[in-house]
Amino acid sequence: MTARGCDEGRLTRARAVPYSNAFHPGAPYKGEEILQDLRKKGAVVMVNSMVVRFSQLGMGPYKLTKAALLAMAQSLATEFGPRGIRVNSVAPGHIWGDSLQWYFGYLAHKRGVEVQEIYDETAAATDLRRLPEPDEIADAVVFLASPLARAITGQCLDVNCGEYHH
């Protein structure tokens, strides 16, 4: 067991969530299937994106899908709450993992600078002057799934080192 009652398999699945789709257009509603898995109590945590906090040219379709995911989480919190099931989201900012490291390497090469310069420029826009790492996003998911968050439902927790506030 790890992280207060969350076994390694469940933790691995939680960490894999950002790499899977919660739904796609035309997909059947899965709410009852989720309920069957959770029985009478439990927690659902959806991984969203900081894009729900700002608008950027060219990001419209992505923001639209993430806004829908946020609305779905809030609606499911209302639907499942009477059965003791909590539904929340996390909205990560830039995540200092393999994809972002590769992208910063690309930008650095294109600009003829070191990767650290790109990182420092991006991190300067955050209150903590750094970017969150994948384990920090997973920690937020584990927290929201844990009994420590037993009175929290329908919420979206930003995990972005203070890049955006709401």
Residue-wise pLDDT for 102-149, tens only, equals 999 999 999 999 999 999 999 999 999 999 999 999 999 999 999 999
49 to 8, 35, 73, 84, 108: CA distances (angstroms): 25, 25, 13, 26, 24
Q: Residue 27 gets which letter from DSSP?
A: P
CB 76 within 8 A of CB 154: no
Spatial distance between the Cα atoms of 106 and 115, rounded to a whole number of angstroms? 9
Q: What is the pLDDT of residue 31?
A: 58
Q: What is the pLDDT of residue 12?
A: 52
Q: What is the pLDDT of residue 7?
A: 53
Mean pLDDT estimate for the chain? 85
Catalytic residue among 62, 103, 119, 164: 62
Q: Residue 44 gets which letter from DSSP?
A: E
Q: Verify whether residue 164 is a known catalytic residue.
A: no
Mean pLDDT over 86-106 rounds to: 96
31 to 48, 75, 107, 113, 147: CA distances (angstroms): 18, 10, 41, 48, 22
Q: What is the pLDDT of residue 19?
A: 37
Pick the CATH number of 1-93+134-166 from 3.40.50.720, 3.40.50.1950, 3.20.20.80, 3.40.50.300: 3.40.50.720
Domain residue spans of the chain:
1-93+134-166, 96-131
Pick the more confident residue, 25 or 122: 122
pTM: 0.77
Return the SS3 of 63: helix
Spatial distance between the Cα atoms of 122 and 34, rounded to a whole number of angstroms? 38
Amino acid 88 reads: N
CB 90 within 8 A of CB 137: yes
